[in-house]
Amino acid sequence: MKKYQSVRGMRDILPNESKAFRSLEDKLISSASQYGFQEIKTPILEDTNLFIKSIGGGTDIVEKEMYSFIDSKNNSISMRPEGTASCARALIENGLNDTINKIWYSGPFFRHERPQKGRYRQFHQFGIEFIGVENFEADFEIISLANNMWRNLNINPTLTINSIGDSDDRKKYINVLVEYLKKYENSFNENEKNKLKLNPLRILDTKNIKTLEILEQAPKISEYISKESKTHFENLLRLLGDNNIEYIKEEKLVRGLDYYNRTVFEYIDDSDNTQNTICAGGRYDFLFENLCDKKLPALGFAIGIERLIEYTKYEEKDDRIKSFYIITLSEKDHLYSLNIANLIRNISKKFIVSSSYSYKNIKSQLKKADKLSSDYCVIIGQEESKNNTCQIKNMNSGDQKNIGIDAIEQYIRNEICFKE
Ligand code: HAM
């Protein structure tokens, strides 16, 4: 028989990992909520043109990585490769762009990239978007929020930051950059030659050592950005410095999505991971104007959840969570065992109680409890149900005690030294 497998680059997130996912997400949500961000959920599918118009037709994401298809009405539809364009579309469509200005989202995104560690075709992002504030203080606020998240997770990724100016500045810069790079075109690989034609700024991202050498003498974007962009950036850097937020100014950081202007930044996992950007974002003051003819400054960032889990080696750890496995030796005592299960669940929301329904010999049921890594077994035989008691076995120490139903709560509280 054919063995079915998940689609290449798309993985199952099994219970052990999904626990970490959920708990990590809860921490990110808690930070975002404290800064006044509210949740938005947008559809997985969007009009392909939305992404062409916002991310840009010449970008890798749009040109090579989108999952797009033609629907039965001949419309081109794409699975969302990122969240910013969808958020802008949703706020415009629902007339909320003046009232709701801080949103967060979390969910799956899709890019047809070459799968490797930290790079998947279906991956998860937690993102925030802050709409309507042009001042550099807003840039500072979202970086502070990211840092607040890292603090809650006990990590300290490196912040790299740059300003790519406004679109006129960038046009001027691209002209001089292309003029400079053309002299070296023969040393470029096919991919770089392609980028030189379609999206020359992306050459700055190269990892090719030869090209990096060529870039050392290339014109720098900071020399071409307007006075306003420069002041915005300098004020932001000053505020970061005043607040002891460390950063690395990186002239070559340009980002792979066309909607950005002025501030762009990334947080890098500084261990030796190859896919090491765990969070990225920046300003996109012209995206709304591009989609609805109304100028509305905005900025945001998105965190790659898989990469963050990998970086933090994040595991859900809560010593208060205890698992109980209820072993009943006869079917007729099922109701009795259900009452005990509920009694234990009511002691604390942190207690996980499951029942064995096999009614088989106790040995095989204890083995199952062990496999499930249960902390305690509650054993109910005929004697116990007749006398309104149960046996509680500590699976770690092996200790086992006969406890009356009325004393279960007190016994568990003492035994576990339980604190809410
Ligand atoms: P991005 O840099 O394309 O930006 O993605 C943000 C983050 O998503 C990356 O830094 C990375 O951690 C994660 N990521 C991206 N692609 C993959 C992949 N194939 N597999 C695993 N993780 C991945 C954006 O998407 C922008 N919308 C961010 C933003 C929000 N800018 C302003 N607001």
DSSP 164-192: ---HHHHHHHHHHHHHHHHTTGGGS-HHH
pLDDT given for residue 156 in this prediction: 92
Nearest ligand 1 atom, CA 119: 20
Q: In the chain, which residues fall in CATH 3.40.50.800?
A: 322-417
Q: Find the mean pLDDT for residues 126-138.
A: 96
DSSP 263-307: EEEEEE--SS-SS-EEEEEEE-TTHHHHHHS----EEEEEEEHHH
Q: For 155-166, how does the pLDDT look when each residue is reduced to its tens digit (9 = 90+)?
A: 999 999 999 999
Question: Is 286 a residue whose pLDDT tops 80?
Answer: yes
Pocket test for ligand 1, best of 164, 307, 308 (most atoms within 8 A of CB): 307
Q: For 71-125, how does the pLDDT look when each residue is reduced to its tens digit (9 = 90+)?
A: 999 999 999 999 999 999 999 999 887 777 999 999 999 999 999 989 999 999 9
Q: Find the mean pLDDT for residues 2-28.
A: 93
pLDDT given for residue 381 in this prediction: 94
Q: Find the mean pLDDT for residues 334-340.
A: 95
The whole-chain average pLDDT of the chain stands at 92
Return the percentage of the chain with pLDDT > 90, whole number: 77
Q: In the chain, which residues fall in CATH 3.30.930.10?
A: 15-166+225-312
Structural class in CATH, domain 15-166+225-312: alpha beta
The whole-angstrom separation of Cα 107 and Cα 202 is 27
The 10 Å Cβ neighbour count of residue 21 is 19
Pocket test for ligand 1, best of 87, 117, 123 (most atoms within 8 A of CB): 123
Q: For 253-274, how does the pLDDT look when each residue is reduced to its tens digit (9 = 90+)?
A: 988 899 999 999 999 988 765 6
CA distances from 170 to 16, 201, 228, 397 (A): 46, 9, 14, 67
Pocket of ligand 1 from Cβ distances under 6 Å: 82-84, 111, 113, 118-120, 123, 125, 127, 129, 277-282, 300-302, 304, 306-307
Question: Is 205 a residue whose pLDDT tops 90?
Answer: no
Q: Find the mean pLDDT for residues 130-146.
A: 97
Count of residues for the chain? 420
Residue 163 alpha carbon to ligand 1 centre in Å? 18
pTM listed for this prediction: 0.90
Are the CB atoms for 15 and 77 separated by under 8 Å?
A: no
Question: Is 417 a residue whose pLDDT tops 70?
Answer: no
Structural class in CATH, domain 322-417: alpha beta
The whole-angstrom separation of Cα 356 and Cα 354 is 7
pLDDT given for residue 89 in this prediction: 97
CA distances from 222 to 71, 151, 200, 251, 354 (A): 45, 31, 16, 7, 62
Pocket test for ligand 1, best of 82, 103, 274, 287 (most atoms within 8 A of CB): 82
Q: For 219-241, how does the pLDDT look when each residue is reduced to its tens digit (9 = 90+)?
A: 999 999 999 999 999 999 999 99
